Structure 1
Amino acid sequence: MKICVLGAGALGCAIGGVLAEAGCAVTLVTRNAAQVAAIERNGLRLVENGRERSVIVRAVTDSATLEVMDVVIVLVKSFHTRQAIESARSIVGPGTVVLSLQNGLGHEDILAEVVGREKVLAGKTYVGGVLLAPGHILVGTAGKETVVGELDGSRSPRAKAIRDEFLRAGLRTALSDNIVGVMWDKLLVNVSTGALSSITRLTYGELYKVEEVETCALAAVAEAMAVARACGVALATREPRDAWLKAAEGLPDDFKTSMLQSLEKGSATEIDFINGAVVRWGHRCGVPTPINQTLVAGIKGIEHHMRLQAA
Structure 2
Amino acid sequence: MKPLYPSIAICGIGSVTVTIIHAFHQNNVPFKVLCKDLTRLEWLQKNPIQFQGPNGKTTTIRLTNHLLLLSDTKKTYDYIILGCKNQILPEYVNITKQYLKPEGKWILIQNGLPEGQFFSLKNQIIGGVVGWNTQTLEDGSYFQSNHGSLVLGESNKNKLEPFWKTYLEPWISVVLTEDLLGYRWHKLGINSIINGLAASKQMSLGELFLKKSGRMEAIQILSEIKHIMQKLNIKEQVVPGSFPIQKLGDGDGALPLWLRHLILFFLGIKYFKIRTSMVQDLDQKRKTEINFINGEVVRVAKENGILVPANETVVEKVLRIETSF
Shared fold (TM-score, shorter chain, > 0.5):
yes
Q: In 1, Cα distance between the equivalents of 2:214 and 2:307? A: 21
* Residues 48-67 of structure 1, C-alpha deviations (whole Å, 9 max, x = no match): 34432201225658433333
User: Is the CA contact (8 Å cut-off) linking 1:154 and 1:177 kept in structure 2?
Assistant: yes
Q: 1:246 to 1:53 in 2, by over 3 A?
A: farther
Q: In 2, Cα distance between the equivalents of 1:75 and 1:247? A: 31
Deviates more, 1:283-292 or 1:25-34: 25-34
Deviates more, 1:19-28 or 1:276-285: 19-28
Cα deviation, residue 190, structure 1: 0.2
For 1:4, which of 9, 20, 29 is the aligned residue?
9
Q: In 1, Cα distance between the equivalents of 2:38 and 2:277? A: 20
Cα deviation, residue 280, structure 1: 0.9
Q: Aligned ranges for residues 101-140 of structure 1 at < 5 Å?
A: 101-105=109-113, 107-113=114-120, 116-133=121-138, 136-140=141-145
SS at match of 2:31: strand
| Bigger Cα Rg | 2
Number of aligned residues:
299
SS at match of 1:76: coil
For 2:84, which of 76, 79, 82 is the aligned residue?
76
* Residues 8-59 of structure 1, C-alpha deviations (whole Å, 9 max, x = no match): 1222222222222321223334668776545322421102344322012256
Q: 1:132 to 1:71 in 2, by over 3 A?
A: same
Taking every aligned residue pair, what percent have the same amino acid on both sides?
19
For 1:283, which of 302, 311, 316 is the aligned residue?
302
TM-score, normalising length: structure 2 = 0.82
Match of 2:273 in 1: 254
Q: 1:71 to 1:87 in 2, by over 3 A?
A: same
For 2:285, which of 266, 290, 296 is the aligned residue?
266
Q: In 2, Cα distance between the equivalents of 1:185 and 1:22? A: 29
Q: Aligned ranges for residues 140-151 of structure 1 at < 5 Å?
A: 140-142=145-147, 144-151=148-155
For 2:107, which of 85, 99, 103 is the aligned residue?
99
Q: In 1, Cα distance between the equivalents of 2:142 and 2:199? A: 20
Q: In 1, Cα distance between the equivalents of 2:115 and 2:81? A: 12
User: Is the CA contact (8 Å cut-off) linking 1:30 and 1:62 kept in structure 2?
Assistant: yes
User: Is the CA contact (8 Å cut-off) linking 2:159 and 2:177 kept in structure 1?
Assistant: yes
Q: 1:80 to 1:12 in 2, by over 3 A?
A: same
Match of 1:232 in 2: 233
* Residues 76-115 of structure 1, C-alpha deviations (whole Å, 9 max, x = no match): 100101011111122211232211111011x2133454xx
Match of 2:223 in 1: 222
Cα deviation, residue 298, structure 1: 0.3
Cα deviation, residue 141, structure 1: 4.1
Q: 1:3 to 1:128 in 2, by over 3 A?
A: farther
Match of 2:204 in 1: 203
Gaps of 5+ in 1: 307-311
Q: In 2, Cα distance between the equivalents of 1:202 and 1:30? A: 33
Q: In 2, Cα distance between the equivalents of 1:100 and 1:262? A: 20
User: Is the CA contact (8 Å cut-off) linking 2:53 and 2:144 kept in structure 1?
Assistant: yes
- Cα RMSD for the two superposed structures: 2.9
Q: In 2, Cα distance between the equivalents of 1:211 and 1:233? A: 30
Q: Does 1:65 align with 2:72?
A: yes
Cα deviation, residue 73, structure 1: 1.5
Cα deviation, residue 288, structure 1: 0.5
For 2:25, which of 20, 29, 45 is the aligned residue?
20
The letter for the 1-side match of 2:315 is: V
Q: 1:267 to 1:194 in 2, by over 3 A?
A: same
Q: In 2, Cα distance between the equivalents of 1:74 and 1:148? A: 14
Cα deviation, residue 205, structure 1: 3.4
User: Is the CA contact (8 Å cut-off) linking 1:145 and 1:171 kept in structure 2?
Assistant: yes
Cα deviation, residue 245, structure 1: 5.2
